[in-house]
Amino acid sequence: MSRIAIIGCGVVGSSWTLVFARAGHEVVVYDPSPASADATLAFVRDSLAGTPELEAVIARIRTAPTLEEAVADASYVQESSPERLPIKQELYARLDTLVPPKVVIGSSTSGLPASSFTETLATRARCLVVHPVNPPHLIPLVELVPAPWTAPEALAFAGELMDAVGQQPIRLSREINGFVVNRLQSALLGEAFRLVEDGIVSTEDVDKAVAEGLGLRWFFMGPFETIDLNASTGIAEYCRNLGPMYYELAREQADPREWKAPLVATLEAARRVSVPAEKLSARRLWRDRWLAALVAAKAQIRKELGR
């Protein structure tokens, strides 16, 4: 057990608080807006309502009135401040003088490379991106993205900590736009937008193609294992047989498009038929209940069938 400082208590910081506290860590949360820090406690209470661990988890969390106090005894800092470079730069300049020696600082940023806000810091070797998939307490994955100056020990520490709290780490060798998760999502979204823009298929049917088809395999296998099992001797045979077809498709897809207003209006209209604007919040709760149920079902199936 160690003491984790959560800096920034929006949706992501609140979810991180739950991740660390339910794993047994003491968590100190800080947000420039004290109301946000309090909301984090309310979020954890709501999320664990009716479960036996609620009080024990809550007892491990406290809010700190200042950044100084939040990080004073921390053994790890998870920063989830707003996604704007000047804010991160100013915050990290302060963390640079406040964070105890050797303590690693992970940023939840989904888009800014750590090098863009840590270059001039004395602590820069201890800084890296530890990017969750939203919401972290339901999706057990993080991306570890080192800056050019991140020390291997800092990367190793973050990887072990994430493994220990149940957030499986993937390790990028270097900074790249969008990291891995958003790059993969980008590729799929690009083709999804293209197919709708070209009138090939409806918005609803794209979602169905994934949610009733491709997503069933990707839920537990990933794209490489999926194709590896789709040729009798494995992935090399698959690539030999289907590589030329995929290359042809890739050439057709090498057509980057902006998401223009008329297309976005079409998508928005289709989505509002499925879920009216006033029901979006309820639908998000539905999503989170699905994710929680799926995570439980997956754990159960894993017990029976193995990983």
Size of the site for a copy of itself (CB under 8 A): 111
Binding segment toward a copy of itself, per CB under 8 A, in 21-29, 100-108, 149-157, 269-277? 269-277
Q: Per CB under 8 A, does 84 bind a copy of itself?
A: no
- Torsion angle (degrees, nearest 10) of CA 85, 257, 182, 110: 10
Identify the burial level of 171 via C-beta atoms within 10 angstroms of its C-beta, where 0-12 means exposed, 13-18 middle and 19 or more buried: middle
Min dist CB 127 to a copy of itself, Å, is 20
By CB under 8 A, what part of segment 179-198 binds a copy of itself?
Answer: 180-192, 195
Min dist CB 158 to a copy of itself, Å, is 14
How crowded is the C-beta side of 288, counted as CA atoms within 13 Å? 16
Among 99, 115, 143, 146, binds a copy of itself (CB under 8 A): 143
Q: Per CB under 8 A, does 304 bind a copy of itself?
A: yes
Min dist CB 152 to a copy of itself, Å, is 16
Identify the burial level of 8 via C-beta atoms within 10 angstroms of its C-beta, where 0-12 means exposed, 13-18 middle and 19 or more buried: buried
Min dist CB 121 to a copy of itself, Å, is 25
Q: Per CB under 8 A, does 178 bind a copy of itself?
A: yes
Q: Per CB under 8 A, does 286 bind a copy of itself?
A: yes
Query: What contacts 24+ positions apart, CB below 8 Å, involve 161-166?
Result: 161/76, 161/104, 162/130, 164/23, 165/19, 165/20, 165/23, 165/25, 166/19, 166/23, 166/140
Among 84, 94, 102, 289, binds a copy of itself (CB under 8 A): 289
How crowded is the C-beta side of 41, counted as CA atoms within 13 Å? 17
What span, in angstroms and rounded, lies between the C-alpha atoms of 95 and 99? 6
Give the number of other Cβ atoms within 10 Å of residue 121's Cβ: 19
Q: Per CB under 8 A, does 210 bind a copy of itself?
A: yes
Q: Which two tokens stand for residue 268?
A: 């928005």
Min dist CB 175 to a copy of itself, Å, is 9
| Smaller CB separation from a copy of itself, 58 or 170 | 170
Q: Per CB under 8 A, does 273 bind a copy of itself?
A: no
Give the number of other Cβ atoms within 10 Å of residue 272's Cβ: 13
Tell me how far the alpha carbon of residue 42 is from its chain's centroid: 22
By CB under 8 A, what part of segment 1-60 binds a copy of itself?
Answer: none
By CB under 8 A, what part of segment 216-235 binds a copy of itself?
Answer: 216-225, 227-230, 232-235
| Smaller CB separation from a copy of itself, 33 or 185 | 185
Q: Per CB under 8 A, does 306 bind a copy of itself?
A: yes
User: What sign has the CA pseudo-torsion 99, 101, 103, 106?
Assistant: positive
Q: Per CB under 8 A, does 272 bind a copy of itself?
A: yes
Min dist CB 20 to a copy of itself, Å, is 18
Min dist CB 34 to a copy of itself, Å, is 23
Tokens 């979810």, residue located = 15
- Torsion angle (degrees, nearest 10) of CA 21, 181, 121, 37: -30
| Smaller CB separation from a copy of itself, 6 or 206 | 206
**Encoded amino acid at 38, one letter:** D
By CB under 8 A, what part of segment 93-112 binds a copy of itself?
Answer: 111
